[in-house]
């Protein structure tokens, strides 16, 4: 169910264009409010769903003989999001998700879809990691999840401090990844060997 109010977005974008001193009725801007509303529907699609609903959408799994010592890692899932502080783009974002299956494995594309949908909200990078971890736990039935994210933030690169090469990295650990140092080391070693 789409909770996004497209008419209200159009009205407010017209107001922003006026507030910027431009004419929203001039040829180049006439359709801009509708275009922005449509774009917001796409880039903020994740706001229509709770973490539990996203987990239910992407919980397709298959039986496996993986043991509790096996790790599934999906690296470099490219997503983008918008910072809730400035509505600024978070870009060049790469998400890596690791989990220990509990008798079933998720379809690999489902992991990418989970990362994508969690990012399609007004977000903080730290919360994207937490949301992906929670959704993965719900969808996979495994408590053991790790999420690594690296991204550029236009609120740092294009405005304010203007440091275009600055990147932000976050790590979210759940279950055994949070408490088992040997497992953490094994995971971090795997990630550095492959990079």
User: Could you list the active site residues?
Assistant: 83-86, 125, 153, 155
Q: How is residue 84 written in tokens?
A: 């809730």
Q: How is residue 176 written in tokens?
A: 């055994």
Residues 132, 97 contacting (CB under 8 angstroms): yes
The rounded distance, in Å, linking the Cα atoms of 187 and 17 is 49
The rounded distance, in Å, linking the Cα atoms of 133 and 150 is 15
Burial 3-15 (b: 16+ CB within 10 A, else e): eeeeeebbeebbe
Max CA-CA distance within the chain? 63
């Amino acid at each position: 169910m789409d909770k996004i109010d497209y008419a209200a977005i159009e009205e407010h974008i017209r107001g922003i264009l006026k507030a910027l001193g431009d004419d929203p009725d001039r040829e180049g801007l006439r359709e801009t409010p509708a275009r922005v509303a449509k774009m917001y529907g796409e880039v903020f699609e994740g706001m229509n769903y709770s973490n539990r609903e996203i987990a239910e959408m992407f919980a397709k799994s298959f039986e496996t003989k993986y043991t509790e010592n096996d790790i599934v890692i999906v690296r470099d899932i490219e997503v983008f999001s918008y910072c809730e502080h400035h509505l600024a783009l978070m870009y060049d974002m790469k998400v890596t998700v690791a989990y220990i299956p509990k008798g079933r494995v998720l379809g690999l594309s489902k992991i990418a879809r989970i990362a994508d949908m969690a990012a399609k909200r007004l977000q903080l990078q730290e919360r994207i990691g937490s949301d992906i971890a929670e959704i993965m736990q719900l969808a996979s039935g495994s408590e053991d999840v790790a999420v690594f994210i690296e991204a550029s933030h236009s609120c740092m690169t294009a405005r304010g401090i203007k440091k275009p090469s600055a990147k932000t990295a976050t790590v979210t650990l759940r279950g055994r990844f949070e408490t088992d140092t040997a497992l953490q080391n094994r995971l971090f070693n795997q990630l550095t060997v492959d990079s």
